[in-house]
A and B are shown apart, each in its own frame.
Chain A
Amino acid sequence: MTTSSRTPTYIIRPPRGWGIPDLGELWRYRELLYFLTWRNIKVRYKQTVLGVAWAVLQPFVTMVVFSIFFGRLAKMPSDDLPYPIFAYAGLLPWDFFAKAFNQAGRSLVSSRPMLTKVYFPRLAIPLAAIFSALVDFFIAFGVLAGLMVWYGVRPTPHLWTLPFFLLLALVVTIGAGLWAAALNVLYRDVGYIVPYIVNLLFFVTPVVYSSNLVPAKWRLIYSLNPMAGVVNGFRWALLGTPTGPDAGMALSVLVALLLLGSGLVFFRYMERYFADRV
């Protein structure tokens, strides 16, 4: 047979060692990521009467219920802001995290036919699950703008930092989502554990209460939950609560980055088992 002096397009070798997924390749497959995200959104609201209105309705109704029970009845302190707007500003990033984390955790297992039949960067699947939740986030964000006008709350001068906190929320969600998605391929228990973790995290995240309620000496440990940093940051940037950048938030950022880094490495390590085990 002839030999070729050209360089191969791909070399297929046994996987070895540790590393992170090939992000350059993911970039080349960005259209797939776009189509998967678009499919998730499209499918989610097919054959629903309210359609995309669900993205608004869910956090809005939750906000109303919280306002009645925590705001009116329990008289929860809300950093001198109207409770509904205080709660909604926290629910916004929280709902995104809860939805996206859940969807990402289930994403690989529910894409079994794709994983076992076609090659593409596996990272695209959990990422598409997370990005599709981001669309709901932006729609729900519109309601917040309406609420701010209604209650006459002016945006703060540090509103420009909001994208940074959204990015932080994404980092946390992607990190946690990658862990859950990859683990779920081998251990289906993860499907049960994820909603439970989300429920528990809800109470250690300042969604219905202000983080000022947490005694100062516990504040740093409290900040180990990176979602605490996200929610505090959102409120600070949007409403001007006294929960701006501090040591606790720096810790949240650090934990979030560790989560993302370890999530990527773990995902890459587990990738080799996806097609055979899912």
Chain B
Amino acid sequence: MSLAIRTHDLGKRYRLGGPAGGREYRTLRETLVRPWTWFRRERHPTLWALRHINLEVPAGQVLGLIGRNGAGKSTLLKILSRVTEPTEGYAELYGRVGSLLEVGTGFHPELTGRENIYLNGAILGMRRAEIERKFDAIVAFAGVEKFIDTPVKFYSSGMYLRLAFAVAAHLEPEILLVDEVLAVGDAEFQRKSLGKMGEVAASGRTVIFVSHNMSAILHLTQRAVVLDKGRIVFDGPTPDAVDFYLSAGVHRSGERVWTAEEVPPQAHPFRPHALRVRDPKGRVTDTFAAIHDITVEWEYSLAEPIRGLRVGIYLLTMRGEYVFTSFDTDDPAAYETWSERPAGHYVSRARIPGHLLNEGRYVLAVNASTFGHRTYFHEENALSFLVDATGAVGFQWPERRLGVIRPLLEWRIERLDERPQPLREAA
């Protein structure tokens, strides 16, 4: 078995804050008025987004890359796809590299589907002859035969996405880097793209696959690497890696605390502090009895007032299926009261009632956003907790209950072969 990728002590350092790091770009004035800063280096605090990455990926392996936001997954993919350059170490790649870092890169709304296939193919590194050969397959995969000569600005978002993915999926490189493409699109599309990924993997190509969808990771990869704060903290068989990631390895039990470096500058003025889950006695824990309420509390502060802010949670199963979404201003009354949230230190609490969740491990994702406008902060897999079935409904039968939830429903048992006598008398 030969190698496809080998990295040696790969690292990437970013500058934080200051004129060029924190903001998108600096103005010329900022440089001109402070000429003494021209030749001074390292004047900003720096952050190693990635450090000491030593990886060997044999050809034909499908490797999963997991870790929370800011753990360095995307940075690693960007270095391997040569979008950005490392600060130290080196990486050797054996074979042509293709990336699905974002589908539809370079798509132009004014151009037709046909024109975009050629353009996008060229951007992804395909030769014209290669695109011509695969053209029909791409169109068929995307299912846009009828609209192939229509400008893509008239496409529905689903069609647009399918076409974009179809081009990228037909790239056929020896090494494929995939970043979270499956998070978009409808269920049918996700199924189709997962199938295509499986096909790519089965054809003996090397794939590095980043996803927050543990179900997809478990389904598609044999080996997974867990990244945390830019380092590899686990490298092994996928089921073990997922287990490590979701349980003790990365998460402290029942609590997720954000340090200042972990919060991206784009989140400003929103600053998350901690997410906790508490049992009815107020203890922070990561194991709950299914019959008990679970209190989720998210502590955060606002440096400036935000109009229309909603702070909320998503509950997911360990396999990545959504159980529900809930925001602290779901209630119209709360929505009115908090139409503008002043600057300050807050905690938003929600109670997940007992007798709702089935046994198993659940994952909390958090989101702070304004509707249709801006997402301040979002983190998948912020916290996970375990629900224990002890005392839950149906506990008298020691069997695994199907279903995500295990609600205590109101049942009435009526017997129909005995006429209720009192009714006739009353009539």
Contacts and interface: CB of A to CB of B under 8 A. Distances in A.
Interface of A: 1-4, 6, 8-15, 29, 31-32, 34-36, 39, 42-43, 46-47, 113-120, 185-190, 272, 275-277
B134 interface: no
A9 to B, nearest CB: 6
B83 interface: yes
Contact of A14 (B88, B93, B115, B119): B88
B115 A31 contact: no
B25 interface: yes
Interface string B20-49: 100011111101000000000000000000
Contacts of A6: 2, 94
Counting contact residues on chain B (CB < 8 A from A), the size range is 35 or more
B248 to A, nearest CB: 27
Give the 8 A-B CB pairs with smallest separation, nearest first. A8-B92, A119-B82, A189-B28, A35-B122, A12-B91, A275-B84, A1-B56, A4-B3
Interface in B59-117: 78-97, 99, 101-102, 105-106, 108, 110-111, 115
A73 B105 CA distance: 53
A4 to B, nearest CB: 4
B26 A186 contact: yes
B343 interface: no
B119 A39 contact: yes
Nearest to B13: A14
Contact of B25 (A2, A3, A32, A185): A185
B128 interface: yes
A2 B122 contact: no
Contacts of B1: 2
Contacts of A29: 125
A42 B102 contact: no
A189 B20 CA distance: 14
B124 interface: yes
A8 B6 CA distance: 9
A113 B106 CA distance: 7
Contacts of B106: 113-114, 118
Given A32-B123, A114-B105, A186 B82 contact: no
A39 B29 CA distance: 35
B273 to A, nearest CB: 28
B97 A10 contact: yes
B118 interface: yes
Given A9-B93, A186-B25, A276 B14 contact: yes
Contact of A42 (B81, B99, B115): B115
Contacts of A8: 6, 92-94
B90 to A, nearest CB: 5
A271 B12 CA distance: 16
Contacts of A32: 122-123, 125
A189 B24 CA distance: 13
Nearest to A272: B85
A34 to B, nearest CB: 8
A54 to B, nearest CB: 16
Contact of A188 (B25, B82, B85): B25
Contacts of B110: 42-43, 46-47
Contacts of A116: 78, 83
A113 B27 contact: no
B105 A117 contact: yes
Given A9-B96, A12-B80, A39-B119, A187 B26 contact: yes
A32 to B, nearest CB: 4
12 contacts: A1-B58, A9-B95, A11-B90, A14-B87, A14-B90, A116-B78, A118-B101, A185-B25, A186-B26, A190-B28, A276-B84, A277-B25
A13 B56 CA distance: 16
Contacts of A46: 110-111, 151
A159 to B, nearest CB: 35
B401 interface: no
B360 to A, nearest CB: 35
A99 to B, nearest CB: 19
B109 to A, nearest CB: 9
A15 B85 contact: yes
B83 A117 contact: yes
A39 B111 contact: yes
B28 to A, nearest CB: 4
B127 interface: yes
A276 B80 CA distance: 15
A88 to B, nearest CB: 31
Given A10-B93, A42-B111, A118 B3 contact: no
A42 B99 CA distance: 27
Contact of B128 (A15, A31, A188): A31
A277 B122 contact: no
Contacts of B25: 185-188, 277
Contacts of A13: 85-86, 90
B27 A12 contact: no
Contacts of B14: 276
Contacts of B97: 9-10, 119
